[in-house]
Amino acid sequence: MSRKIIILIFAILSLNCFAQNNSKEDSITLKKLYNTSLLNGKSYEWLDYLSNQIGGRLSGSLNAQKAVEWGEKELKELGIDKVWLQPVMVPKWTRGVTEYAYIETEPGVTTNVPVCALGGSVPTSIGGIKAQVIEVKGLDELKKIGIDKIKGKIVFYNRPMQADVIETFMAYGGCVDQRYSGAAEAAKFGAIGVIVRSMNLRLDDYPHTGAMSYGDLKDTDKIPAAAISTKGANLLSSMLKLDPNVKFHINMNCRTWKDVQSYNVIGEITGSEFPKEYMVVGGHLDSWDLGDGSHDDGAGIVQSMEVLRLFKEIGYKPKRSIRVVFFMNEENGLRGGKKYAQVAKDKGENHVFALESDSGGFTPRGFSLDCNADNFEQVQSWKPLFEPYLIHFFAKGGSGADIGPLKKEGMVLAGLRPDSQRYFDYHHAKNDTFDAVNKRELELGAATMASFMYLFDKYGVK
């Protein structure tokens, strides 16, 4: 055997041995992270506070400010290297007195239906609006129906989420245009208001709010927009089939104010080897105002904070600088995400990795990744490490809205993918509350995120 071959064999054996030791060490670290989260976790206790002591925290509200102060305080108590607030101006929209609506089948004969204003909507005129309803399944239909039949009426968008789409986020993507652009489009055809079927796969009585946009409409052309519960939508649709002349009355006094000062909350563990390489983990601190935002996105906030705590608990000192970011204003503006990325760019900070949890606190299944082939291959090689935790899903796809603006060549953007089947039962609705979150599922998510970050910190971004 030639010396070259002997050296080669020796090199291969060493590498193999190194890989085995590394893999064993990684297994042990992951086990520690999961055990600590499940046996001695803080995520659930934090979520209890954020959900029950603070509650819904729409951007620009007093509650959002309380959440900022709470986040800063909790991060400081973790004893990490730095904690600061990053100023950002955010929109302020208020719901006002609770909305109401009814279907009127003949003068004075009415049936109440559950509605809520969409975020950003203008109010109705005082006392509400009442008009005939024209039901459509999507934006395209408006043109076919034509201005003559739409003018002066309320457009009712009633295309449901598709139940046969397995990934509920895909089903959501398939109808959210009705909510986001429905009013702007209907206004062009002379509608005086729109109601949109809630983005919910269940039949129930909760209207689901969410962001909408008037595009470039003039203020005077804007028309009020509300969501109606899925059961309300079915009722209205069936009544319209019996009598196309039934009227719909809705009263809303929501309002948009001047932008106000708010903050992203940021904490950092400075890296021991590569302090100038930044890895972000985060969620969004704001929520809609109807529930207490436990799944969207209280879960992501407390899981992100737990990642840093778990590192400290198990004594892991990251090589790279790990930042937890509680982004402000994901729901109706994304101002926090944009601001964070802008400041990072202005300062020339080298962000190599970002992970967001904003898909609910359900049993984690894996991650979706926006990254290059080398990093994706590296992630695939970690699959065996995650098998004991039933984490199987590592796929190309979107990451998270708040971290999206950070995107650049060579960077890894990742989103935690929990089981999504129940997410839209709660999303943006009054029942998105603490009791809808299971402690273990939340804790498993936090440990899964910490494990993923640990591996990227240890092996680096390719």
Q: Which of the residues are catalytic?
A: 330
Residues in CB range of 249: below 8 A, 6 or more apart: 101, 102, 103, 104, 110, 128, 129, 130
- Strands (DSSP E) contained in 294-338 are 320-327
- Amino acid in position 116: C
Note whether 48 binds a copy of itself by CB under 8 A.
Answer: no
Q: Which is nearer to a copy of itself, 33 or 67 (CB)?
A: 33
Q: Which is nearer to a copy of itself, 221 or 441 (CB)?
A: 441
Query: Distance between CA 383 and CA 145 in Å, rounded?
Result: 52
- The token pair that represents 189 in the structure block: 């055809």
Note whether 419 binds a copy of itself by CB under 8 A.
Answer: yes
Which part of the chain contacts a copy of itself (CB under 8 A), choosing from 20-28, 48-56, 331-339, 440-448? 440-448
Question: Which of these, 261, 277, 266, lies nearest to 305 by C-alpha position?
Answer: 266
Which part of the chain contacts a copy of itself (CB under 8 A), choosing from 246-254, 312-320, 329-337, 434-442? 434-442
Question: Which of these, 189, 248, 192, lies nearest to 223 by C-alpha position?
Answer: 192
Residues 377-396 that bind a copy of itself (CB under 8 A): 388-390, 392-393
Query: Distance between CA 250 and CA 113 in Å, rounded?
Result: 10
Note whether 438 binds a copy of itself by CB under 8 A.
Answer: yes
CA 381, 386, 390, 391 torsion-angle sign: negative
Note whether 38 binds a copy of itself by CB under 8 A.
Answer: yes
Vertex 436: Cα angle to 433 and 438 (nearest 5): 130
Query: Distance between CA 411 and CA 354 in Å, rounded?
Result: 8
Residue whose structure tokens are 């708040």: 402
Note whether 363 binds a copy of itself by CB under 8 A.
Answer: yes
* Rounded least distance, CB 84 to a copy of itself, Å: 35
* Rounded least distance, CB 37 to a copy of itself, Å: 9
Using the rule CB under 8 A, which residue among 199, 201, 240, 279 binds a copy of itself? Answer: 201
**CB neighbours of residue 275 within 10 Å:** 15
Residue whose structure tokens are 């030791």: 21
**CB neighbours of residue 137 within 10 Å:** 13
Using the rule CB under 8 A, which residue among 26, 29, 30, 34 binds a copy of itself? Answer: 34
* Rounded least distance, CB 33 to a copy of itself, Å: 11
Using the rule CB under 8 A, which residue among 1, 5, 126, 166 binds a copy of itself? Answer: 166
Using the rule CB under 8 A, which residue among 444, 446, 453, 461 binds a copy of itself? Answer: 444
Which part of the chain contacts a copy of itself (CB under 8 A), choosing from 50-58, 123-131, 307-315, 439-447? 439-447
Interface with a copy of itself (CB under 8 A)? 34-35, 38-39, 163-164, 166-168, 201-202, 363, 365, 388-390, 392-393, 419, 421-422, 425, 438-441, 444
